[in-house]
Chain A
Amino acid sequence: MGLRGLLSFNTIFFGLPIALLASAAVEGRVELPKSHSAPVQAKRYEIVTHAGVLSTQPPLAVVYLDGVFPQPASLPMKQVAQKDLTFIPSLLPVRVGTKVEFPNLDDTYHSIFSYSPAKRFDLGRYRPEERPIPTQVFDKPGLVTLRCDIHEHMRGLILVLNTPYFVMTDTNGRFRLDGLPAGRYTLKAWIDSRTTREKPVEFKSGQTLHVDFP
């Protein structure tokens, strides 16, 4: 994935007025755990559980700027689809208050639920053509594990964050966040369900900070 791809990826998520107010940026690399399986050629990745720890495979991290930021009036709806008996995307970072819809793109029933403390819900069994598409609003920060009651192997993660500034790394762990407000913050890197690293940062307008998470 080249820089162009990453930028376009960011454009999708951050085409927001807030970005215009900010001028600082941060870039760097997160040291990702070694992948246990052969590298996947496709761009898809999945959620794996190892010794009770959920992570993506191949490993990816979510880098976000922790802090208190004004809550916008509305947030765009996100989507976690079920396709080929997997969640797509399998890891979705969202801002608190985001509504996520769960379209069923398979030819079979799915029954998505979560027992996670951050969000408990149970969509019940639904078919692909069922309308409306079931949705949930994630109003508490935390990690939500998505499961399907029918397909026990299916796992999805929604990382509910307090901040609008977050980005997923590429498979090498590289990231870049633009349009950040100046000031002192904590920059965090979520690596798996048990590991989140953090570093204090101070942004100045027009500056690009380099931060690596070892």
Chain B
Amino acid sequence: MRSAVRARNTGVASFRTQLFTAMMVIVATLTALGLYFAQRKVTADAAGNLQQNFQAELSSLHKLEELRHAALADRCHALAAKPRIHAAMEDNALDLLYPSAKDELRDLMEGEEPPPEQAAQWLHARFYRFLDSTGAVIKPPNPYDVGQLDTQTEAQLTLHKLPETQQIGYIQENGDAGGGGAIDEVIAVPIFSTGTGDLISALVIGFKPLELESKHTGAGMKSGIWANGRLHLPSLPKSAQASLNDEIANKIANSDRLQNNFVVNVDGTPQLLFYKRLNPDSLFPPAYEICVYPLADSMAQLHRLRWQIGGAGALLLLGGFVASHLVALRLSVPVKKLALDSEENRAQRKRAEAALASTAEELERSTRYSADASHQLKSPVTVLRVGLETLLAREDFKPEVYEELSVLLHQTHRLTGVIDDLLLLSRMDAGHLQIASTPVNLSQLVDEWLDDLAALPDSPDVKIEKEFPAGLFVAGEKRYTSLIVQNLLENARKYNRPGGRIRVSASRACGTRDVALTIGNTGRTIPRDENIFERFHHCSTRSAASGHGIGLNLARELTRLHGGDLRLVRSENDWTEFEVRFPAADGVNAVT
């Protein structure tokens, strides 16, 4: 008993553990999901914010550049309209181009370097050059006036054809051997002849590039330009620039997008790098604005968030633990009860099983007894009958002896019948008899028995009336159904009067699934108070008819075993009528 309690407690504990584990799994999953989505959101938000920032910066830069470009376009238009420039171009006096333009463009070169916020309004050029009709740079006679450039830098200004619209390019001055030379923004402005409208030249003006203003973007933003395969981002150390340069070159080479962003590592800290093509569709080599934003803020935010969500998850887990504990306690009460109940049930079942086993044993014993009894009873009768038959076969007896022997032989037959009936009854009483139900053709059965009856030697002179359809099937086991019919028909013959009649009718009983077989006969009626269905019942009035008093009882028991019934319908005015009800065989009685 103690071990059972222990087992029960272990069961409850394991239930509690399972419940808690399930809760833990759910909480852990939720926390992990929360962390994952929050992290994604923070990263996306940070990227989105910085992207917006970058775009805003670029658009302000773009506006400044547009102002500058508009101013330059005006300037060049005016310049092209100048007869001297025109004359120099058209009269093949290119050597006079620079002197002619010098006055016009003097203010471009001579202004003080403006403060950054006015850079767009101030057209402070670092240099300018004219391109001839093939796009090549026309060498200035006096480079000092137009901004000195070394040969390599000047060569970068050459275009493969004259531009029809303004072109923006970025060139790197090679003054510094380390490649850190200043980047110049160059704008090529076409010059059309005022006389012919033909494109006769272009003016290429070099400026210090406009820089992104970092005042609204947070301190860490660094901007620069990537042009000609080189990164110019002076605020970064050389080594970082070199490694970034390779990454950017890779990204740009592998993507045909004009702008993009990706995460880079600069000196071990993650940064978000944006790039955008500054001169789409330009005749100059592509150049990109590069912006690097430190991700420290968003990383810190992410870190904080991770802690918060992790903490929340832990709290949830703790709460879950407590809750699951409580719930388990609450739940474990009925579970405990259930366990107890099931224990009782089990004990009951065991008892029932034991009882069943003993019953089964008894049954087996009684079956064995029946078989034994049958053997023990039948054997002597058989011996008796065989002896009588042998005696009957002899011819040296007096005729009265034969008669006596014949009566005795008949009695052995009756005895066998009685023994069979008794054994059957005892089996039924023991509950051993089971009906293997199959469709039985009742009509045929009745016909056969009526034929047999007629063939019996001592048949009284009775008239037989039949009233049943052919092929009426009932559900039953044929030998028992047959026994019932035999019993009733024999009775009807046995208790009939000479010159009487037997009427057999069968039909589907109205409103039920039964088949009703009615057997009536003329002759002496049965008094109302006689219980003819009792075992070993004998008629109160002696008659010629012989019986051992178990036939009707057996028939009724068998009928009931089939799920039907046998009853005396009436017995009056020289007419006795029995009715047997059998369950009909399903699906066989097609037509009734």
Contacts and interface: CB of A to CB of B under 8 A. Distances in A.
Our verdict on whether A and B bind, yes or no, reads: yes
A149 B84 contact: yes
Interface in A136-158: 145, 147-149, 152
Contacts of B90: 49, 52, 145
Contacts of A114: 87, 91
Contact of A113 (B87, B92, B196): B87
A9 interface: no
Contact of B87 (A50, A51, A52, A145): A145
A152 B196 contact: no
Interface string B83-106: 110111011110010000000000
A92 to B, nearest CB: 17
Given A50-B196, A51-B198, A52-B198, A149 B93 contact: no
B195 to A, nearest CB: 4
Contact of B81 (A51, A117, A152): A152
Would you list the 3 A-B pairs with minimal beta carbon distance, nearest first? Answer: A115-B93, A115-B87, A49-B195
Contacts of B77: none
B196 A145 contact: no
B277 interface: no
B194 interface: yes
A135 B196 CA distance: 30
A114 B86 CA distance: 11
Contact of A52 (B81, B84, B88, B193): B193
B82 interface: yes
A152 B193 contact: no
Given A117-B91, A152-B86, 8 more contacts: A52-B90, A52-B196, A52-B198, A115-B87, A116-B93, A148-B83, A149-B82, A152-B83
Contact of A147 (B87, B96, B196, B198): B87
A136 to B, nearest CB: 15
Contacts of B92: 117
A147 B93 contact: no
23 contacts: A49-B90, A49-B196, A50-B196, A51-B196, A52-B195, A52-B196, A113-B84, A115-B84, A115-B87, A115-B93, A115-B96, A116-B91, A117-B91, A117-B93, A120-B96, A145-B87, A147-B83, A147-B87, A149-B83, A152-B81, A152-B82, A152-B86, A152-B194
A178 to B, nearest CB: 35
Interface of A: 49-52, 113-117, 120, 145, 147-149, 152
Nearest to B92: A117
Nearest to A150: B83
A113 B90 CA distance: 14
A149 B193 CA distance: 15
A147 B90 CA distance: 12
B89 to A, nearest CB: 9
A116 B86 CA distance: 12
Contacts of B195: 49, 52
A147 B84 CA distance: 8
- Tell which of A49, A115, A116 has the most Cβ of chain B within 10 Å: A115
- Tell which of B82, B86, B87, B93 has the most Cβ of chain A within 10 Å: B87
A113 B86 CA distance: 12
Contacts of A116: 91, 93
Nearest to A151: B83
Nearest to A120: B93
A147 B96 CA distance: 15
Contacts of B84: 113, 115, 147, 149
Nearest to A145: B91
B83 to A, nearest CB: 5
Contacts of A52: 90, 193, 195-196, 198
Nearest to A122: B84
A37 to B, nearest CB: 15
Contacts of A147: 83-84, 86-87
B181 to A, nearest CB: 37
Interface in B51-91: 81-84, 86-88, 90-91
A49 B195 CA distance: 6
Contacts of B193: 52
Nearest to B96: A115
A114 B88 CA distance: 9
A32 to B, nearest CB: 21
A51 B200 CA distance: 11
